[in-house]
């Protein structure tokens, strides 16, 4: 009797599992729809705002993000890599790409050199020894890592050509004119120089040659503000006084100048022109008389 009673209690307890599951799903859906969607989803108003990290209690520059795994803000954060147990950002992004390149070359070398022994073991041309398992397993591992690293390496080379990070590829940065994934793109060559530097001889060497300081980055967007438009359309420096003669008409632009002074300036200007014309005529007459 006792085992039967315990079994029935267990069955009744298990029967409540779907009910509890449905209740949890309803509670979660309410939280996701009401709290997260309606309360914490705030439209971004990025007009001259300052990005601030509540966890680190510091101001976040552009392209800086907080890593929950490292519990710190990372400049130009790309992603958190569990294979190196570190964040990939401005200070080590070039080294991460070189790490992928070196690993790809290593896997290709292992797969290429083991391929002939793999074929011989697979066709039973070599004796069946303990080395067979190691050679077969080594080739499969090298080929698997080669394919995965090649895809990851190609993707990050594409990001370098676009001057984007992995975070910016999924979530476009917001500028004053709106969100734009290509906001930091300066052209293919300049984008590569942003990560690898200007000197090509250092591109494949594990030395830091990235441009900038990680705090500010050049952008291709031009704001249409009145202040920036004034700076952009700033006139060229005035020429020297020797190149541009002073004109009385310029004095008339001064609002404090009286009409009498303006008339006197015009009279003097006409008198000077008359004297010059008289001198030219005198010279012409004297030359004709001598001839």
pLDDT digits (tens, 9 = 90+) for 215-242: 889 988 554 443 443 333 333 344 333 3
Residue 90: count other Cβ atoms within 10 Å of its Cβ.
23
Nearest to 215 by CA among 58, 64, 83, 48: 64
Output the CA torsion sign for 192, 197, 199, 205: negative
User: Where on the phi/psi map is residue 163: left (φ > 0), alpha (ψ -120 to 50), or beta?
Assistant: left
Answer yes or no: is pLDDT of 13 > 60. Answer: yes
Q: Are 93 and 101 in contact (CB under 8 A)?
A: no
Q: Give residue 150's pLDDT band: very low, low, confident or very high (50, 70, 90).
A: very high
Answer yes or no: is pLDDT of 288 > 70. Answer: no
The fraction of the chain above a pLDDT of 70, given in percent, is 69
Active-site residue set: 81
Question: Which of 148-162, 178-192, 260-274 has the lowest average pLDDT?
Answer: 260-274
Cβ burial, residue 262 (10 Å; 0-12/13-18/19+): middle
CA-to-CA separations, 275 to 221, 266, 271, 278, 284, in angstroms, rounded: 57, 14, 6, 5, 14
Answer yes or no: is pLDDT of 280 > 70. Answer: no
Whether 111 maps to a domain, the answer reads yes
Q: pTM above 0.75?
A: no
Nearest to 204 by CA among 83, 84, 102, 88: 102
pLDDT at site 43: 55
Whether 25 maps to a domain, the answer reads no
Whether 133 maps to a domain, the answer reads yes
Cβ burial, residue 266 (10 Å; 0-12/13-18/19+): middle
Q: Are 246 and 266 in contact (CB under 8 A)?
A: no
Total structural domains in the chain? 1
Nearest to 97 by CA among 190, 210, 213, 6: 210
pLDDT in tens, 41-50: 555 555 556 7
Whether 274 maps to a domain, the answer reads no
Whether 233 maps to a domain, the answer reads no
Tell me the two tokens of residue 81. 């890599």
Whether 158 maps to a domain, the answer reads yes
Whether 241 maps to a domain, the answer reads no
Span 7-20, average pLDDT: 82
CA angle 282, 288, 291 (to 5 degrees): 140
Domain limits at 192? Answer: 92-202
Whether 67 maps to a domain, the answer reads no
Residue 88: count other Cβ atoms within 10 Å of its Cβ.
23
């Amino acid at each position: 009797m006792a085992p039967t009673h315990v079994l029935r209690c267990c069955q009744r307890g298990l029967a409540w599992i779907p009910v509890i599951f449905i209740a949890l799903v309803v509670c979660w859906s309410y939280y996701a729809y009401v709290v997260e969607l309606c309360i914490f989803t705030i439209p971004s108003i990025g007009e001259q705002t300052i990005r601030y990290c509540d966890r680190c209690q510091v101001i976040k520059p552009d392209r800086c993000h907080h890593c929950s795994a490292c519990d710190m803000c990372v400049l130009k954060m790309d992603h958190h890599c569990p294979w190196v147990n570190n964040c990939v950002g401005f200070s080590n992004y070039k080294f991460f790409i070189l790490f992928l390149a070196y690993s790809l070359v290593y896997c290709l070398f292992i797969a290429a050199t083991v391929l002939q022994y793999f074929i011989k073991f697979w066709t039973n041309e070599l004796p069946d020894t303990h080395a067979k398992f190691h050679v077969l397993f080594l080739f499969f591992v090298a080929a698997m890592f080669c394919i995965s690293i090649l895809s990851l390496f190609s993707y990050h080379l594409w990001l370098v050509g676009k001057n984007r990070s992995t975070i910016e590829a999924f979530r476009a940065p917001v500028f004053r004119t709106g969100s734009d994934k290509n906001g930091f793109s300066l052209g293919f060559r300049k984008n590569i120089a942003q990560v690898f530097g200007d000197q090509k001889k250092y591109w494949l060497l594990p030395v830091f040659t990235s441009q900038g300081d990680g705090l500010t980055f050049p952008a291709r967007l031009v704001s249409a503000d009145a202040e920036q438009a004034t700076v952009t359309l700033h006139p060229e420096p005035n020429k020297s006084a020797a190149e541009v003669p002073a004109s009385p008409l310029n004095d008339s632009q001064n609002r404090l100048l009286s009409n009498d002074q303006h008339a006197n300036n015009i009279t003097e200007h006409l008198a000077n022109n008359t004297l010059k014309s008289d001198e030219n005529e005198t010279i012409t007459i004297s030359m004709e008389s001598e001839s």
